[in-house]
């Protein structure tokens, strides 16, 4: 295996890893959204055993979590290698090595762009998770305050 083949293999693997990262973020965001729905459903049905001021604050955190998770799921543009573009690279190059270099450069550019998109989604998801956890903790404290008063 030559060095250009090794570089292409690395680029392809990184591209696959970035798409896997994207799917993992989407899965986690969907799970947190579902958990928010369940928790809010419980709050609506069980508000009589919660201390209202703290419950309202918890609801705000849960709603913020829903918003942040939804934004992390927002459809974003991701770059992939398009077959027509690869064919154009092939037609424009004199040698297979030049073709591989163009292909590698395109994959590297795509990976850089996709990483920025994935990092944006991951950042929003991270804040969505923090907000969710704070909301759940506030609901637990609200329940205990209600019991103690």
Q: How many CA atoms lie within 13 A of 53 on its CB side?
A: 1
- Interacting residues of 122 by C-beta distance below 8 A, sequence separation 6+: 21, 25, 72
Q: How far is it, in rounded angstroms, from Cα 52 to Cα 73?
A: 31
Poorest-pLDDT segment among 15-24, 55-64, 134-143: 15-24
For residue 71, CA distances in Å to 35, 122, 135 come to 16, 10, 18
Give me 47's structure tokens. 């508000």
pLDDT tens, 108-128?
899 999 999 999 999 999 999
Q: In terms of Cα–Cα distance, which of 129, 132, 133, 137 is closest to 54?
A: 137
The whole-model pTM stands at 0.84
Helix (H, G, I), strand (E, B) or coil at 91: helix
* pLDDT at position 99: 80
- What is the three-state SS of 56-86? HHHHHHHHHHHHHHHHHCCCCCCCCCCHHHH
């Amino acid at each position: 295996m030559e060095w250009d083949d090794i570089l292409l293999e690395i680029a392809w693997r990184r591209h696959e890893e970035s798409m896997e990262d994207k799917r993992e973020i989407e899965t986690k965001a969907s799970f947190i959204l579902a958990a928010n729905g369940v928790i809010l459903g419980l709050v609506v049905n069980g508000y009589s055993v919660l201390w209202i001021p703290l419950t309202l604050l918890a609801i705000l955190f849960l709603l913020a979590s829903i918003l942040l998770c939804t934004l992390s799921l927002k459809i974003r543009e991701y770059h992939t290698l398009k077959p027509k573009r690869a064919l154009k690279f092939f037609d424009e190059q004199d040698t297979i090595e030049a073709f591989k270099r163009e292909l590698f450069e395109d994959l590297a550019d795509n990976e850089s762009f996709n990483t920025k998109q994935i990092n944006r989604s991951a950042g929003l998801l991270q804040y969505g998770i923090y907000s969710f956890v704070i909301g759940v903790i506030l609901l637990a404290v609200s329940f205990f305050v209600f019991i103690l008063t």
